[in-house]
Amino acid sequence: MSQFLEGISIDLGLEVFAAFLGVLSVWFAKKNKILVYPTGIISTLIYVWILFKNQLLGDLIVNAYFFLMSIYGWFFWSRKNEGNFQNNISRLNLNESIFGLIIFTFGFITINYLYNISNWQENHVSSIDTLTTAIFCSAMWFMARRKIEHWILWIIGDIISVPLYIYKGLYFTSIQYLIFTIIALLGFFTWLRELNKKKLTVKEL
Q: What is the mean pLDDT of the chain?
A: 83
**What are the φ/ψ torsions at residue 33 (nearest 5 degrees)?**
-105, 140
**Is residue 32 in a domain?**
yes
User: CA dihedral defined by 34, 36, 37, 40, rounded to 10 degrees?
Assistant: 170
Residues 172, 16 contacting (CB under 8 angstroms): yes
Write the pLDDT tens digit of every residue in 160-203. Answer: 999 988 888 888 778 888 988 999 999 999 999 988 887 665 55
Count the domains in the chain.
1
86 belongs to a structural domain: no
| Segments forming the whole domain that contains residue 198 | 2-79+95-204
Note whether residue 88 is domain-resident: no
Query: Cβ(167)–Cβ(125) under 8 Å?
Result: yes
Flag whether pLDDT at 48 surpasses 70: yes
Does residue 181 form part of some domain?
Answer: yes
The values of phi and psi at residue 95, to 5°, are -60, -40
pLDDT per position as a tens digit, 83-103: 666 678 899 999 999 999 999
pLDDT digits (tens, 9 = 90+) for 17-47: 888 898 899 899 988 888 999 999 999 888 8
CA distances from 126 to 132, 133, 153, 167 (A): 10, 10, 19, 12
User: What is the pTM (predicted TM-score) of this model?
Assistant: 0.79
